[in-house]
Amino acid sequence: MSDDEDIRRAIALSLGEQERPVSVPEDDEEAQFQEDLQRALEASRASIGTAAKPNPAAQAASASSFLSERAQLEKARLERQKRLRGDTGSAEGEGSPSSSSAPPAKSATGMAYTAPSGSEPLFWDGELRQTANKHVDPKKDTQPTFRLSEIIGKKSELSFALVSSYALMLPWLYEFFNPSTPVILVAQPDHSGHESIRNVLPNWVMTTPFLRNGRGCMHIKFMLLFYKTGRLRVVVTTANFVDFDWRDIENTVWLQDIPLRSSPIPHDPKATDFPAAFERVLKALNVRAALDNMLKTDHPNLPVKSIQDIRCRWDFSKVKVKLVASLAGKHEGWPSLILTGHTGLMKALRDLGLHAPKDKDVVLECQGSSIGTYSTQWMNEFHCSARGDSAEEWLDQPKSRRAKLPWPPVKILFPSLQTVRQSVLGENGGGTMFCRRNQWDAAKFPRELFHDSRSKRGGVLMHTKMIIATFRDKSQSTLASSSRGKQRPLDVDSGSETEDSDIVEVDPSDAKRDYAGWAYVGSHNFTPSAWGTLSGSAFTPILNITNYEMGIVFPIKTSKDVDRVAAWERPPCKYESGKDVPWMQDESSILAD
């Protein structure tokens, strides 16, 4: 069998396995999410025009055509790149014109990048940007953006790549790499939830992690890109590696370039820094076994011989963000809990000096694409970690008291039905956002916490998962809760907020008050499945997590920085009681057709 036939067969097989429908019990929230997402991906491809509803014959024909026309595709890609250099058109289905030709600037986080003359931009201090999008309002799309082609750079310069995604369009992703480049791809396991390693394409190995009873999601999206010059690029994104996530729906990307050390440092099993945290994630995702397999077979000369090499051989000293991951499973005891889930977020905030002062409250704005099943107990449990407070005191409280606490100061951002219908793509663009009627209508569901999700860049819907936390005087929190009503809009010219403001000027005399707040960006939706649920006691705590998730957290210094980092219009508009309802795709007659 020829190489081309091998590739055709592998792609067809992979597509069939990725897109097989799943039957799940109604009361399984995370499994229901997977079923909803699969159905929505197919509907979105059909209605947005990205692809037709898949069938085995069409998949095989598509894969065959995809491979037999590689020369034409490469020629077209080069022509598109030429057009991009002239700021016209779009490349590889990726959204609005490239911003890489723009002069060096600062991102929303103030992280500067450098672009040596004649070369691609390098981001030694880290960079946070939204993805390019073909549907944004050009007048509002004023900040630099990222395209996937820009992130990866020149194909010929890559020596190895590690890629992770929940949803996947393999032929589309394959086009961004040279066929000879070895790639390890982390993906969602099959219904059994067992670990697996298999070849899916020549030089491509797919690995899947373990999921208890097949429940949950491998929801992490990242790239580790190793270049022949020795540079490593770390990419954490909210976007899956499917074409419409990089073209039609808004997502967020953080990346940083990491230099090679002059000489390796010894492995430190007790390290807790950024690369050590990433190493734990890679082990949990079954990457170590996949790497060993690749080294023993066709690629003995990879730039990394073990996962430990990443920390030992590359210099992460300029990385200032903290990596926060959720690893699926049951975690017992504080040494384990502070490494994962929302208790891991708590530890990261403390390490960054973001433990909330006693006289301050923490107000959360939580943007995501999937709504969870919420209780006041879980919401307060999460908010405890978001303040940087240890859950020991929380767990020592009687369960009866925990269950009766009021909702903490949290704003849940999710697009209303009206916002989806008024977006550029309308209901056709809402196929990857999930809220169900039985959630919304539940007797104790926090409808009063819902706020509309509106992108700062115009009528596009957001797949971005982001939490913005701001410090506010507790006296202001009490006043705001007693006078909460119709919000006044943000003063665009001054950048200041008026009524119901979440931002306060911090006291520079106190080291812990040097910041206005903090931000999280990554794969976590604001759900118990993503962040975990606490049980046990203060002495023997237990954290159960359903999903694999990962993101970054970093401090925000000023209120203006808060507005720059947030992907949405601030302050977010609260749902109008009796009028606004969240977008529920399973009630859409358009997506049902």
Active site residues: 219, 463
Contact 368, 414 (CB under 8 A): yes
Q: CA 155, CA 397: separation in Å to the nearest integer?
A: 56
Q: Which amino acid is at 423?
A: S
What interhelical angle do 287-296 and 274-284 show, nearest 10?
80
Count the alpha carbons within 13 Å of 477 in the hemisphere toward its beta carbon: 15
Which distant-in-sequence residues (6+ apart) come within 8 Å of 43 by Cβ? Answer: 431, 591
**Beta-bridge partners for 365:** 411, 468
Closest CA to 216 of 284, 275, 293, 272: 284
Contact 209, 286 (CB under 8 A): yes
Q: CA 201, CA 516: separation in Å to the nearest integer?
A: 48
Contact 402, 373 (CB under 8 A): no
Count the alpha carbons within 13 Å of 326 in the hemisphere toward its beta carbon: 31
Q: 3-state DSSP helix/strand/coil percent for the chain, to nearest 5?
A: 35, 20, 45
Contact 221, 215 (CB under 8 A): no
Structure tokens at 139: 């007048």
| Burial class (CB within 10 angstroms; exposed 0-12, middle 13-18, buried 19+) of 139 | exposed
CA angle centred on 244, ends 239 and 245, rounded to 5°: 10
DSSP string, 21-39: -----TT-HHHHHHHHHHH
3-class secondary structure per residue, 124-172: CCCEEEEECCCCCCCCCCCCCEECHHHHHCCHHHEEEEEEECCCECHHH
Q: CA 501, CA 478: separation in Å to the nearest integer?
A: 12
The pair phi, psi for residue 529, each rounded to 5°, is -65, -35
> Is 486 assigned to a binding site?
no
Q: Chain-centre distance of CA 277, in angstroms?
A: 17
The pair phi, psi for residue 137, each rounded to 5°, is -80, 115
- 8-state DSSP, 447: G
| Burial class (CB within 10 angstroms; exposed 0-12, middle 13-18, buried 19+) of 407 | middle
- 8-state DSSP, 50: S
Which distant-in-sequence residues (6+ apart) come within 8 Å of 80 by Cβ? Answer: 89, 90, 91, 92
> Is 465 assigned to a binding site?
yes
Strands (E), 182-328: 183-186, 196-201, 204-208, 222-227, 232-237, 252-258, 322-326
Structure tokens at 130: 């939204």
Residue numbering of the annotated binding site for substrate: 221, 465
Residue numbering of the annotated binding site: 221, 465
